[in-house]
Each structure stands twice: as C-alpha cells, then as structure tokens.
C-alpha cells in the first residue's frame, strides 16, 4: 500500500482562515488519510498475529516430535 502524497497546508487569508470550502476539503482529506492509516494498521496487526500463530504452531510441533523421540 503506497502512502498518500502530503497535501500542502491550508492557505490562510487575511482573516486567519481559508474559505469554508478549503477547510472542508482539508478536513475530508484528513479523514480519508486517517481511515487509510487505520486500515493499514489493521492489516499489519493481522499479519503479525498470523506470523506469531505460525511460529507458535511450529514450536509446539517440534516439542511434540522431540517428546515422541525421547519416549521411544
């Protein structure tokens, strides 16, 4: 997943704020970026969990193999 390009800062007018449309667009862009980052975190956590479970299963398998060899 490619991170989105950084948006330029909101342009301020003499009154100190951009127009409503500019602020609204910037807010929408931030919401989209936030959602994208949350989704990325979710999938990365899933990937980490899956790798942990695979390594845990591998360890249990090796231990049971060693135990069966020692018993024989």
pLDDT in tens, the chain (72 residues): 555 566 666 555 555 567 999 999 999 999 999 999 999 999 999 999 998 888 887 777 787 777 776 765
Indicate whether 67 belongs to any domain: yes
Do the beta carbons of residue 7 and residue 19 sit within 8 Å? Answer: no
pLDDT score at 63: 78
Q: Which helix (H) or strand (E) holds 12?
A: none
Q: Which domain holds residue 37?
A: 24-71
The count of structural domains within the chain is 1
* Helix ranges (DSSP H) in the chain: 20-71
Residue 10 lies in a domain: no
Structural domain includes residue 33: yes
Q: Output the pLDDT for position 13.
A: 55
Identify whether 19 is part of a domain: no
């Amino acid at each position: 997943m490619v991170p989105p390009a950084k948006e330029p800062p909101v342009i301020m007018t003499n009154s100190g704020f951009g127009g409503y449309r500019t602020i609204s667009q910037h807010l929408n862009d931030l919401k989209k970026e936030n959602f994208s980052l949350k989704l990325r975190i979710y999938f990365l956590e899933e990937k980490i969990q899956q790798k942990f479970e695979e390594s845990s299963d591998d360890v249990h398998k090796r231990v049971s193999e060693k135990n069966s060899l020692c018993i024989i």
